[in-house]
Amino acid sequence: MDRAFFEMLAEQGYTFYDENGDIAISNPGWGQRPEQDHTCLMAMPDESVVITLRLPVDPVVADEPTPLGTVAKVGVALDGVPIFADAPSVLDTGHLPALDVCGGHIDPGGWYHWHATSTDVDTMLDAEGVASYCALAQDASAQFGYAFDGFPMYGSLKVDGVAPEGLDECHGHVGQTALGKTYHYHASSEFPNLPPCLVGVVAQDNFATTANAGIGAANFTSPDHEDAAPPGLEQAAETLGVSVEALMNALGAPGQRPDFVATAKALGVTEAELRDALPARP
């Protein structure tokens, strides 16, 4: 881990190391808050987890693009690794997900996923002047995966090695690819370098895991109670003096970055009270 990076965060009020210079690392879990105010969240792998993904075989353009918020489901890499939108910010949680040099990490459920285009992440790192390189083979013109609407996702360059032009708001266009002439997305040179929205229709229940926590874990419900809240949310609701239903409705859909200001206003609490009550997020 880059010490200069953590020193920069400390100057902004986020101190991730102690007086000995040791970086604080914690294993995230729903309903569990790290003892320290600021830690790197590093979950443990669980090789027993099974992931089920559903993507359209014949993509269909939707009436309106679907915005992709924080940790939203973007797609799946060609090797089967799930791809999600930008990881939660230290501004939201006070903590940092421990992303590796390829832009990925382990979900609290125990399975690995990316928050970047792993086969073109070096383009982004070079653009930012970051001296760190992904161990995976890089190819900025190759396809790296499929979005959850079924359309292919490519690196930051076209198949001829030229930068794409005329990209839409979702960073995609219709053009020639190895799959023929079709709509497809391109990675950008800025993190997160993934599509900010999806133009196509996504399948219902398109992501599920057998894990006991994290994204896709039985929709964050317990097996004996269909409408159960995510772990830690009942305690948060009690602390805030509101109902669990009201808190869940105010926070919005799982996997999206909550608007803490709007949520606090809707619940009649302060933003600080809301952040302190909520369980740590991955």
* Structural domain harbouring 246: 221-277
Residue 113 has pLDDT above 90, yes or no: yes
What confidence score (pLDDT) does residue 29 get? 57
DSSP one-letter code for 118: T
Distance of alpha carbon 21 from alpha carbon 55, whole angstroms: 46
Which amino acid, one-letter code, is at 175? G
Looking at the structure, do residues 132 and 245 belong to the same domain, yes or no?
Answer: no
Binned at pLDDT 50, 70 and 90, residue 248 comes out as confident
Q: Is residue 104 part of a domain?
A: yes
Higher pLDDT, 257 or 207: 207
At residue 255's C-alpha, the angle toward residues 249 and 259, to 5°, is 55
Give the global pTM: 0.72
- Note whether 82 and 207 are within 8 A (CB): yes
Q: Which of 166, 200, 234 is the last residue of a domain?
A: 200
Provide the mean pLDDT of the chain: 82
Q: Is residue 86 part of a domain?
A: yes
Q: Is residue 238 part of a domain?
A: yes
Higher pLDDT, 74 or 236: 74
**Number of domains forming the structure of the chain:** 2
Looking at the structure, do residues 228 and 180 belong to the same domain, yes or no?
Answer: no
Looking at the structure, do residues 248 and 150 belong to the same domain, yes or no?
Answer: no
Residue 224 has pLDDT above 50, yes or no: no
Q: Is residue 16 part of a domain?
A: no
Q: Which of 134, 165, 200 is the last residue of a domain?
A: 200
Q: Is residue 21 part of a domain?
A: no
Could you give the C-alpha distances from 118 to 35, 192, 233, in angstroms and in order? Answer: 32, 11, 33
Q: Is residue 228 part of a domain?
A: yes
Higher pLDDT, 222 or 160: 160
Looking at the structure, do residues 230 and 163 belong to the same domain, yes or no?
Answer: no
Higher pLDDT, 77 or 251: 77
Q: Which of 165, 200, 235 is the last residue of a domain?
A: 200
Q: Which residues pair with 153 in a beta bridge?
A: 145, 185
Looking at the structure, do residues 104 and 241 belong to the same domain, yes or no?
Answer: no
Q: Is residue 158 part of a domain?
A: yes
Looking at the structure, do residues 124 and 243 belong to the same domain, yes or no?
Answer: no
Looking at the structure, do residues 186 and 147 belong to the same domain, yes or no?
Answer: yes
Could you give the C-alpha distances from 10 to 7, 23, 38, in angstroms and in order? Answer: 5, 12, 10
The token duo for 60 is 């269909």
When pLDDT is averaged across residues 20-39 and rounded to a whole number, the result is 69
Helix (H) or strand (E) holding 83: strand 82-84
